């Protein structure tokens, strides 16, 4: 009779071990999927940041180009006609230009 009890205990422990292994496998799979999803998120975020920088550069170029048209003596109406844009859009695009700061590095000030 003691052997039957021992056998049942071993069987119960084996079933518990198998259940724990199954749960651990599910958890490990989930952890791997979470890690992959986080990596995807961070990669997309890095790509987005790079695109935001590129967009700022392109918008600055657009704004400077529009601004140059004004420097060349064109008025807002003419610039709008040349670019086939609304005057509001011309104003908005012109505002995208980031002024280029004069070089104030120590090397340029030495003289």
Please tell me the least confidently modeled range out of 52-61, 63-72, 96-105.
Answer: 96-105
Is 86 inside a domain boundary? yes
Is 90 inside a domain boundary? yes
Is 104 inside a domain boundary? no
Provide the residue range defining the domain that includes 37.
Answer: 2-98
CB atoms within 10 A of CB 64: 17
Q: In a 3-state reduction of DSSP, which class is residue 111? A: coil
Asked if the model's pLDDT at residue 106 lies above 70, the reply is no
Q: Per the structure, how many domains does the chain have?
A: 1
Is 103 inside a domain boundary? no
| pLDDT bracket for residue 44 (50, 70, 90) | very high
Calpha distance 108→111 (Å, rounded): 8
Total-model pTM: 0.60
Calpha distance 34→31 (Å, rounded): 5
| pLDDT bracket for residue 98 (50, 70, 90) | confident
Is 107 inside a domain boundary? no
pLDDT value of position 88 = 96
Calpha distance 59→92 (Å, rounded): 11
pLDDT value of position 111 = 45
């Amino acid at each position: 009779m003691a052997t039957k009890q021992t056998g049942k205990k071993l069987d119960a422990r084996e079933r518990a071990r198998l259940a724990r292994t199954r749960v651990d496998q599910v958890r490990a799979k989930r952890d791997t999927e979470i890690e992959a999803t986080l990596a995807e998120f961070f990669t997309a975020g890095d790509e987005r940041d790079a695109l935001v920088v590129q967009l700022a550069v392109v918008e600055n170029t657009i704004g400077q180009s529009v601004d140059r048209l004004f420097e060349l003596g064109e008025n807002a109406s003419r610039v709008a006609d040349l670019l086939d844009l609304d005057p509001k859009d011309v104003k908005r695009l012109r505002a995208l230009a980031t002024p280029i700061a004069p070089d104030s590095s120590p090397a340029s000030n030495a003289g």
